[in-house]
Amino acid sequence: MDSLLAPRSTSSFSSPLNNNKNYYYCNINSENKSSFSVPSSFRIFNLRKFSTVSFGYGCDCRLMGRSSGCSKIDCLTRVTMDFSASAASPEIAKPKIVTGPGGYVLEDVPHLSDYIPDLPTYPNPLQDNPAYSVVKQYFVHVDDTVPQKIVVHKDSPRGTHFRRAGPRQKVYFDSDEVHACIVTCGGLCPGLNTVIREIVCGLNHMYGVKKVLGIDGGYRGFYAKNTVHLDPNVVNDIHKRGGTILGTSRGGHDTTKIVDSIQDRGINQVYIIGGDGTQRGAAVIFEEVRRRGLKVSVAGIPKTIDNDIPVIDKSFGFDTAVEEAQRAINAAHVEAESIENGIGLVKLMGRYSGFIAMYATLASRDVDCCLIPESPFFLEGAGGLFEYIEKRLKENGHMVIVIAEGAGQELLSESMKSMTQKDASGNKLLQDVGLWISQRIKDYFSKQRKMPINLKYIDPTYMIRAIPSNASDNVYCTLLAQSVVHGAMAGYTGFTSGLVNGRQTYIPFNRIIEKQNHVVITDRMWARLLSSTNQPSFLSAKDVEEKGDEEPSNQLLDNGNCGQETFVSNEVTN
C-alpha cells in the first residue's frame, strides 16, 4: 500500500454515503493537517474543494461532499487504510459467454450483481399494474434467449443466442431510488424523440420513476451544459417532431468527466441513444462505471439510418428514411422522363453502408442504377458506368441513378487528391460524390461522346433524416424504449437493446461495436437489386472472389425472417 492517504481510523470509512452501500466516507476537517495516501490501485480523480472523501468498494477513491473544509491535499487528515480485501475490478469486463448442449452459446450481458455483491432486489411493480397483471406470462422467463441465426440445417450447432428483452419478476432498483438520464448523440435519425418519449413514459408509467434528466447536446452535455427535467407532460407531443428535443453532437466524449457527472448527480440509470460511435462511447462509460464500482446501469439504444450497426435486424428510423427517399427518387424520375436524354441523379446518405440507397432503389422500381460504398465501380471503358448510361439512354431515353454518399470515394480521391479530414467524432469527412459524378457524366457526354444530356441532381441528404418517424418506426421505437427500461430496472448494464430476428434482445456492447454492418454484395439481396435495375455489377472476377469471403450481414429482408410483415407480427409477441 502506498502512503499517500491514510484514514484516521478504519472505522471512519464504515458508514454508507447517501445510502449507497458501495461508497464509504470519512469526514476530514481542515484542522487535521496531514498528507493523503491511497493504495496504488486507487486513484483520486476529482480533487475539488470538498471535505468528504469517499472510497469506492474495490475501485476508485473520490473526493466528495460540499461542506466547507479542507481545500488542499496537504491539509487533510492522515488516515490509514487497508484495501487488501477489496478486489479492484479489472479494467475491461470479460464477455459473459455461457455454453450449453448442442453447441448452444449465450452471449450474455453484464449485470450489476457481477461486480456489486449483495444487492437488494424488489418485486417488479408491474405485477400490481392492472394493464399487465392480467397478461399471462408477462414476465420474461430467466432462461429465454433468442438465436442469432434462425436458418439452420439438421446438424447445425445451436449457435449464438442473446438474452431476451422484457420485464423480469424482480428488479434491482426501488422506484424512488431511480435517477435516470437520457442522452442522444451523433447524427439525427427519425424516431429519436419517440425513443426519448417512451423511455420517460415507460419509466414513469410502468415503474413509477419520477426522476429523469435530459442531457443537453450529446456526450459533452454531461459536463458542459445544464440538464432538463423530463416527465410525461414534457415529452407528450415530441414524437410528432423530427430531430431530438435534447440536441445532439459529435465529439466531446470525455469518459472521466462524463462518469464524474453521473456520479456527482447521483444518476443510476444512463440511457444512451446513438449510432456505432455512440455505442463505443457507451461501452467506455460502462467500463469506467464498473471500475468505480457504481450501481449505475448503462444502456444503449441503437440509432442509425445508415443501418451500419451489426447484429440487430435494423435501426429505428430506417424505414422512414427509405420512405422519404422515395420522394426524391420520384422527383428525379419525373424530371428525367420529361426531357430528352434526361438523367435524374439522387444522392442519399450512407457513409460506409449503402442500405438506404439499396432499399430506396428496391422500393422505387424507377431506378436504373444504384451505387453504394460496398460495390466498387468504374466510369470509362467496356462494362463501366458511362457505357451503361449510354445504353440506357438509347433504350429508354432517360434514366435514374441513386448514389450513396460513400460510394466511389476511392475514385474521387484519385482525381481530387484525397482529403483526410475527419469530423469531431473521428468519422472520415467525405467529398461530395454527387456533385463530382454529375460533372464527370456531363463532361463525358458533352466532350467525349458529343451527345447532349440533361442531368438533374437532387440531394435530399438531410431531408430524409430530419423528419418524424412513420407509424411502423414509432411502434419499433416504443418497443425498443420499453425493452431498455425493463433491462436497466432488472439490473442489466453494458448492453444495447436491439431487435434480433424480430425479437427484442439485450446485446452486450462488445458485439455491437466490434464491426460495422455492410451490404454484402455477394448475397442474394444485392443480386435482387441488380436484377431489378438491370445494371452491371461492375465487378471483376477477382472482386467477386475477394468479396465472397465476407460474412453475410443482417440484410433486413433477407433470410426470410426480417420482412416487414414478420417484423410487425413478431414485435407484437414480444
Ligand X SMILES: O=P(O)(O)OC[C@H]1O[C@](O)(COP(=O)(O)O)[C@@H](O)[C@@H]1O
Residue 349 interface partner, choices Mg ion, ligand X, ligand ADP, none, CB cut-off 5-8 Å depending on type: ligand X
How far is Cα 386 from Cα 378, in angstroms, rounded to an integer? 9
Q: Which helix (H) or strand (E) holds 571?
A: helix 564-573
276 lies in the site for Mg ion, by CB under 5 A:
yes
Q: Does 464 belong to an annotated binding site?
A: yes
Helix, strand, or coil (residue 312): coil
Helix, strand, or coil (residue 147): strand
Residue 350 interface partner, choices ligand ADP, Mg ion, ligand X, none, CB cut-off 5-8 Å depending on type: ligand X
Here's the x/- map for ligand X, 323-362, by CB under 6 A: it reads as --------------------------xxx-----------
Q: Does 473 belong to an annotated binding site?
A: no
483 lies in the site for ligand X, by CB under 6 A:
no
287 lies in the site for Mg ion, by CB under 5 A:
no
How far is Cα 273 from Cα 496, in angstroms, rounded to an integer? 9
Residue indicated by cell numbers 430506396: 360
Give least dist CB 351 to Mg ion, A. Answer: 7
CB atoms within 10 A of CB 153: 6
313 lies in the site for Mg ion, by CB under 5 A:
no
Question: Pick the catalytic residue: 108, 306, 308, 319?
Answer: 306
Cβ proximity to Mg ion: between 308 and 473 the closer is 308
Asked whether 12 and 26 are in contact (CB, 8 A), the reply is yes
How far is Cα 353 from Cα 355, in angstroms, rounded to an integer? 6
How far is Cα 309 from Cα 94, in angstroms, rounded to an integer? 21
Fill in the amino acid letter for 55: F
State CA 225 to chain mean position distance: 22
Cβ proximity to Mg ion: between 277 and 491 the closer is 277
Alpha helices (H) along 397-460: 409-416, 433-443
Give least dist CB 186 to ligand X, A. Answer: 3
Site stretch for ligand ADP (CB under 6 A), options 68-76, 113-121, 277-285, 488-496: 277-285
Cβ proximity to ligand ADP: between 140 and 285 the closer is 285
Q: Does 221 belong to an annotated binding site?
A: no
Q: What distance, in Å, lies between the first and last C-alpha atoms of the chain?
A: 52
Q: Does 278 belong to an annotated binding site?
A: yes
Here's the x/- map for ligand X, 283-322, by CB under 6 A: it reads as ---------------------xxx----------------
How far is Cα 175 from Cα 222, in angstroms, rounded to an integer? 23
Give least dist CB 192 to ligand ADP, A. Answer: 11
Q: Does 351 belong to an annotated binding site?
A: yes
In 3D, which of 250, 310, 247, 251 has the Cα closest to residue 276? 310
Among 161, 168, 239, 253, binds ligand ADP (CB under 6 A): 253
Cell of 38: 491511497
260 lies in the site for ligand ADP, by CB under 6 A:
no
Site for Mg ion in 386-405 (CB under 5 A): none
Residue 214's alpha-carbon distances to 59, 195, 232, 393, in angstroms, are 28, 12, 13, 53
Give least dist CB 499 to ligand ADP, A. Answer: 18
Q: Does 251 belong to an annotated binding site?
A: yes
Is residue 306 part of the annotated active site? The answer reads yes
φ and ψ at 397, to 5 degrees?
Answer: 85, -10
Give least dist CB 375 to Mg ion, A. Answer: 20
187 lies in the site for ligand X, by CB under 6 A:
yes
Site for ligand X in 388-417 (CB under 6 A): 405
Residue 28's alpha-carbon distances to 36, 37, 65, 71, in angstroms, are 11, 13, 11, 10
How far is Cα 375 from Cα 536, in angstroms, rounded to an integer? 11
Among 275, 300, 342, 468, binds Mg ion (CB under 5 A): 275
Give least dist CB 351 to ligand ADP, A. Answer: 9
Asked whether 90 and 49 are in contact (CB, 8 A), the reply is no
Cβ-in-10-Å burial (0-12, 13-18, 19+) of 246 comes to buried
How far is Cα 127 from Cα 378, in angstroms, rounded to an integer? 61
In 3D, which of 237, 299, 288, 241 has the Cα closest to residue 263? 288
Give least dist CB 315 to ligand ADP, A. Answer: 10
Give least dist CB 70 to ligand X, A. Answer: 45
Residue 164 interface partner, choices ligand X, ligand ADP, Mg ion, none, CB cut-off 5-8 Å depending on type: none
Residue 145's alpha-carbon distances to 14, 165, 301, 507, in angstroms, are 41, 9, 19, 11
Q: Give the strand pairing for 52-56 and 20-27.
A: antiparallel
242 lies in the site for ligand X, by CB under 6 A:
no
Cβ proximity to ligand ADP: between 285 and 362 the closer is 285
Cβ proximity to ligand X: between 58 and 187 the closer is 187
461 lies in the site for ligand ADP, by CB under 6 A:
no
Cβ proximity to ligand ADP: between 58 and 274 the closer is 274
350 lies in the site for ligand ADP, by CB under 6 A:
no
Cβ proximity to ligand ADP: between 169 and 427 the closer is 427
Cβ proximity to Mg ion: between 202 and 275 the closer is 275
Cβ proximity to ligand X: between 358 and 489 the closer is 358
Give least dist CB 309 to ligand ADP, A. Answer: 9
Question: b/e per residue, 251-277, with b = 16+ CB within 10 A?
Answer: bbbbeebbbbbbbeeebbbbbbbbbbb
185 lies in the site for ligand ADP, by CB under 6 A:
yes
Cβ-Cβ contacts under 8 Å for 466 (sequence gap 6 or more):
188, 242, 243
Residue 208 gets the label, from left (phi > 0), alpha (psi -120 to 50) or beta, of left
| Cβ-closest position to ligand X | 187
Q: Does 503 belong to an annotated binding site?
A: no
In the complex, the residues that contact Mg ion under the rule CB under 5 A are 275-277
Indicate the annotated binding residues for substrate: 304-306, 349-351, 405, 462-465
Indicate the annotated binding residues for Mg(2+): 276
Indicate the annotated binding residues: 187, 250-251, 275-278, 304-306, 349-351, 405, 462-465
Catalytic residues: 306
In the complex, the residues that contact ligand X under the rule CB under 6 A are 186-187, 275, 277, 304-306, 349-351, 405, 423, 465
